Amino acid sequence: MIKDFLPVSREDMQKRGWDELDFLYICGDAYVDHPSFGHAIISRILEKHGYKVGIISLPDWRNVEDFKKMGRPKLGVLVSAGNIDSMVNHYTASKKKRSDDAYAPGNKAGQRPDRATIVYCNRIREAFGKIPVLIGGIEASLRRFAHYDYWDDKIRRSILLDSKADILMYGMGERQIVEIADCLASGMDVKDITYIPGTCYLSDTNDIENSIEIPSFEECVESKKAYAESCRIQYYEQNPYTGKTLIQKHGDKYLVQNIPQKPLETKELDAVYSLNYMKNYHPMYEEAGGIEAIKEVKFSLVSSRGCFGSCNFCALAFHQGRIVTARSQQSIINEAKQMVWDPEFKGYIHDVGGPTANFRAPACDKQCKNGACKDKQCLYPTPCKNMKIDHSEYLSLLKKLREIDGVKKVFIRSGIRFDYLINDKNDEFFYELCKHHVSGQLKVAPEHISDNVLKYMGKPKNEVYNKFSDKFYKINEKIGKKQYLVPYLMSSHPGSTLHDAISLALYLKRNGINPQQVQDFYPTPGTISTCMFYTGLNPFTMEKVYVPKTPKEKAMQRALLQYRNPDNYKLVCEALKLAGRTDLIGYGAGCLIRPQKNEWRKEKDGKDFRRKNGVTKNKGRVSSRGNRAKGKRN
């Protein structure tokens, strides 16, 4: 097998002696042949199974000829918007255009269209007519059902209808793509490939056994309650062991979601990460300045997939799933040893983790046979009694990585689940973490401190984070290190009132925390929190939820988290007055901001009168410096 980048042009095909591709992969990210990029994994998997794959990254969607440059593929076209939903990639939480794009050459924004999956599919149909079109990646996966779209502020149809693709692959697609490829190669019509787990397709009838029909697209448009019910059922049935086929009517068509694929086993995951990746971006981007997104992952190691943390604002449960699977230690160590030989490697492994770094196994033995519990969460509101809390295997891996010749330091940056760590009765990992794997600052995600907000986030009570924080600083004191926690914080999450935001600001003040960056809640497709944002309902209980929606209130909540910033003064002041907390405007130790300058001077002639006549404030009484000075001179 050739150790090289996959073809990106006719010339590349000719070098390999290919006249025709089996599959053409259209991607909204630059071509980076590294397993942190979905297009790299899927294309290399196909290559391993003997299929000829070519890649067109960031095609000019305005010009259909750009899609034809490698010819018509024999079996089909694969489409992905990239590692990030194209709308999230393009716009901030305040719907402003982003000025950069880490997944594009030279970090230059605007090189892919909005709703890239749909646009690319339309161009493919224009270029090739009737040909199997298969969509996947995060954008397709999270938009597979009727979904709330924040940018349009409405319910949109399944992306499968709008793209007019034949099959949608959701979740992690290694098994799906091989099964579909083998079916197409055998001569099967793409319309007959309707049975593969982890895929969605359209049907004219609703006659599938052991299925559940969820509220239709039209019902979701008409009723927010129906939409919340739809989201709840979708969440409950994302279990590869017990989940049922889901059906959602869209007009005269039925969207069918087959049950999820089972997670890859350790041997299968090892095989995925041992493929012939070049571990870098394609050299054609060198002149433009390279690809920014490779920098953090090039010398990082993916150790696991899945997350049983199940935060409501996170789409992982809906995409990767709640069952954690891990690569073997030997697979990870082998990759690290190869990394050492890279001329750019300076001895520092940036990360060893996954969605949650310290999850290296399923939460309990039950998950290996039955999957995650349907209506319970492993860590919220408190850790399940069946959960196995053990860091020993992960610690063993980290120690082995530290011992590799050429490795100076092994960091953990992908996030520690603090509520899992603090409940480990064995402190060895906590000490080793502080001694060897923190680069001065450890990023953690309490997200908020108000228990009222945390319950809607699916996060533990604030007392759990405080306990973790206290222990972190005590351990660092014992080992003689000055290291700090950097908390990720979120403003304007459903459930958060101005009073909750003020409570968070006071917490930051009491603890001397001055966050340089905070995140407004971003209603992205596929999350429970987004459902709350749109409907004002908790889909699990159908109880009403307060939602800060106006740009003004969201700006005030964000400003309160950075109340020290002079640019935020007016917003903070207005928020405090609106909440009836003017007691926090003053000179006392517990105040957030001081009164505006010269505010005490207000009277009918205004501040100019006082300035001209030398009136000043002096120990609670008003005196005239000007007249007194004149008297002395006379």
Say if 381 falls within a structural domain. Answer: yes
Residues 14 and 142 in one domain: yes
Residue 454, domain member (yes or no): yes
Given 436, 462, 485, the domain boundary residue is 436
- Whether residues 425 and 447 share a domain: the answer is no
Do 367 and 408 lie in a common domain?
Answer: yes
Q: Is residue 282 part of a domain?
A: no
Domain final residue pick, 436, 470, 502: 436
Going 547 to 553 to 558 to 564, the CA torsion angle's sign is negative
How far is Cα 514 from Cα 535, in angstroms, rounded to an integer?
Answer: 33
Residues 132, 58 share a domain: yes
What torsion, rounded to 10 degrees, do the Cα atoms 619, 623, 624, 625 define?
Answer: -30
Q: Which domain holds residue 322?
A: 299-436
Residue 56 within a domain: yes
Can you list the residues of the chain whose pLDDT is less than 70? 1-2, 598-634
pLDDT value, residue 598: 60
Helix (H, G, I), strand (E, B) or coil at 376: coil
Task: State the maximum Cα–Cα separation within the chain, in Å, rounded to a whole number.
Answer: 110
Q: Is residue 607 part of a domain?
A: yes
CATH classification of the domain holding 383: 3.30.750.210
Task: For 97-114, write each residue's pLDDT tens digit.
Answer: 999 999 999 999 999 999
Q: Which amino acid is at 67?
A: F
The amino acid at 558: R
Q: Which of 412, 436, 460 is the last residue of a domain?
A: 436
In our burial notation (b when 16+ CB lie closer than 10 A, e otherwise), range 192-229 reads ebeebbbbbbbeeeeebeebbebbbbebbbeebebbbb
Could you tell me if residue 246 is inside a domain? no
How many of the other CB atoms lie within 10 Å of CB of 622?
11
Give the Cα separation of 555 and 569 in Å (integer). 12
CA–CA gap between residue 429 and residue 352 (Å, rounded): 14
**Is residue 350 located within the same domain as residue 431?**
yes
Q: Are residues 332 and 371 in the same domain?
A: yes
Dihedral (Cα; 235, 237, 240, 245), 10-degree rounding: -130
Answer yes or no: do 586 and 608 share one domain.
no
CA-only gyration radius of the chain, Å: 28
The torsion region of residue 57 among left (phi > 0), alpha (psi -120 to 50) and beta comes to beta
Residue 504 sits in a domain of what CATH number?
3.30.750.200
Contact 72, 500 (CB under 8 A): no
- Give the number of domains in the chain: 4
144-169 pLDDT, tens digit each: 999 999 999 999 999 999 999 999 99
180 and 65 co-located in one domain: yes
For residue 18, tell me if it sits in a domain.
yes
Q: What is the pLDDT of residue 596?
A: 84
Joined together, the tokens standing for residue 229 give: 């019910």
| 497 domain residue, yes or no | yes
What is the C-alpha to C-alpha distance for residues 200 and 513, in angstroms, rounded to an integer? 46
192 lies in the same domain as 319: no
Quick one: 365 and 469 in the same domain? no
In SS3 terms, 220-270 reads as HHHCHHHHHHHHHHHHHCCCCCCCCEEEEEECCEEEEECCCCCCCCHHHHH
Q: In 3-state terms, what secondary structure has residue 134?
A: strand
Q: What pLDDT, on a 0 to 100 scale, did the predictor assign at position 605?
A: 44
- 321 close to 171: Cβ distance less than 8 angstroms: yes
Report the pLDDT value the prediction gives residue 618, as an integer from 0 to 100: 40
Cα–Cα distance for residue pair 615/618, rounded to 1 Å: 9
506 and 555 assigned to the same domain: yes
Looking at the fold, whether 394 and 489 belong to one and the same domain comes out as no
CATH of the domain at 47: 3.40.50.280
